């Protein structure tokens, strides 16, 4: 019996080594997920957004020649926080995320992409979805209208009352489409290549009003246009509510992975918590009918 002990011990050691080798070779759930969710650069998640990156969507960081107002890599601000939450669900650490500047209109233009996904208050529309992939919504938001205090339009209380005024929005946005389809002003709406240019036009009183999404409207009145106010938001329906989704290249297999991540973040309450943290102040405004 004593001669069998060394033999049994050796067998046990070999078995343990074999099990260890098998476990090392077996792909983990994270490895499998990453393999099925390819990115532009292996081992890195490249996220696009516009520049400047405005609050409340982005916050903090050192102003630099690269990022004019906020650095999206801080993880602060609603979209930055959502982006990192999605990245974590995909298996990427914060250090494995790279941000890149992508102008708003280029984010949903057809063709190959230099980013894995772009997050920049980009509303889903059927036309855009023909040439790019949209994720599930990470935020549903109403359109709103901003005016200068003390002006004639500032006393308007209905959509019909807006019809005679000069109203503007950024080119290619659902805000501009909303002006044409819902407000239907008698004057041709003013269009601007960037939201910054549209805000400046309101500040200089070159337009009577500016249409943007509601959280952006709060930032415009708080920090960009002195003595301005939110005249109101537009009730749900009729194009008033936007569904923000991240944008990916058409047919990108990563889309399904991002959708699973967003669904999980919605189910476990993360999206709601981040909305309360970053957007709580940007929810109340009178409704125009």
Quote the CA–CA distance of 118 and 105 in Å, as a whole number.
Answer: 11
Asked whether the predicted pLDDT for residue 14 surpasses 80, the reply is no
pLDDT for 280 equals 80
Strands (E) in 89-223, as ranges, are 97-101, 117-118, 132-134, 139-148, 167-170, 190-192, 209-213
* Same domain for 113 and 165: no
Q: Higher confidence at residue 234 or residue 34?
A: 234
Give me the CATH number covering residue 74: 3.40.190.10
Residue 19 resides in a domain: no
Residue 116 resides in a domain: yes
Helices (H), 29-173: 29-35, 78-90, 104-107, 126-129
Q: Which residues contact 272 (CB under 8 A, 6 or more apart)?
A: 266
Residue 146 resides in a domain: yes
Quote the CA–CA distance of 236 and 246 in Å, as a whole number.
Answer: 21
Residue 16 resides in a domain: no
63-77 burial by CB neighbour count: b if 16+ within 10 A, else e? Answer: eeeebeebbbbbbbb
| Count of the separate structural domains present in the chain | 2
* Same domain for 169 and 114: no
* Same domain for 73 and 53: yes
Residue with tokens 């974590």: 88
* Same domain for 103 and 233: no
* Same domain for 252 and 132: yes
CB 56 within 8 A of CB 221: no
Residue 3 resides in a domain: no
* Same domain for 157 and 235: yes
* Same domain for 115 and 258: yes
* Same domain for 113 and 45: yes
Asked whether the predicted pLDDT for residue 98 surpasses 60, the reply is yes
* Same domain for 157 and 129: no
Dump pLDDT digits (tens) for 24-59. 334 333 443 566 899 999 999 999 999 999 999 999
* Same domain for 197 and 65: no
CB 234 within 8 A of CB 10: no
| pLDDT bucket at 62, cuts 50 / 70 / 90 | low
**Mean pLDDT along residues 177-195:** 95
Dump pLDDT digits (tens) for 137-182. 999 988 999 999 999 999 999 999 999 999 999 999 999 999 999 9
* Same domain for 46 and 178: no
Residue 18 resides in a domain: no
Residue 10 resides in a domain: no
Residue 13 resides in a domain: no
Q: What CA dihedral angle connects 239, 243, 247 and 249, to 10 degrees?
A: -60
Quote the CA–CA distance of 223 and 233 in Å, as a whole number.
Answer: 19
The parent domain of residue 60 ranges over 39-138+245-282
* Same domain for 265 and 123: yes
Quote the CA–CA distance of 225 and 208 in Å, as a whole number.
Answer: 13
């Amino acid at each position: 019996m004593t001669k069998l002990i060394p033999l049994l011990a050796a067998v046990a050691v070999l078995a343990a080594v074999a099990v260890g080798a098998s476990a090392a070779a077996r792909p983990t759930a994270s490895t499998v997920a990453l393999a099925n969710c390819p990115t532009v650069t292996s081992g890195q998640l490249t996220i696009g957004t516009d520049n400047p990156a405005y609050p409340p969507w982005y916050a903090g960081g050192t102003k630099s020649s690269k990022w004019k107002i906020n650095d999206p890599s801080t993880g602060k601000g609603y979209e930055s926080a959502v982006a990192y939450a999605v990245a974590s669900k995909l298996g990427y650490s914060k250090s494995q995320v790279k941000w890149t500047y992508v102008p708003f209109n280029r984010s949903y233009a057809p063709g190959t992409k230099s980013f894995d996904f772009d997050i920049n208050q980009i509303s889903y529309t059927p036309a855009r979805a023909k040439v790019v992939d949209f994720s599930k919504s990470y935020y549903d938001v109403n359109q709103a209208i901003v005016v200068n205090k003390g002006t004639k339009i500032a006393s308007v209380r209905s959509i019909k009352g807006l019809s005679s005024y000069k109203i503007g929005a950024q080119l290619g946005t659902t805000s501009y489409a909303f002006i044409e389809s819902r407000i239907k002003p008698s004057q041709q709406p003013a269009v601007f290549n960037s939201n910054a240019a549209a805000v400046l036009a309101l500040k200089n009183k070159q337009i009577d009003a500016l249409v943007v999404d509601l959280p952006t409207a709060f930032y415009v009145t708080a920090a960009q246009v002195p003595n301005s106010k939110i005249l109101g938001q537009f009730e749900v329906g009729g194009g008033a509510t936007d569904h923000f989704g991240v944008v990916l290249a058409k047919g990108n297999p990563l889309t399904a992975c991002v959708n699973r991540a967003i669904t999980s973040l919605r189910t476990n309450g993360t999206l709601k918590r981040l909305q309360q943290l970053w957007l709580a102040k940007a929810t109340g405004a009178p409704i125009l009918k």
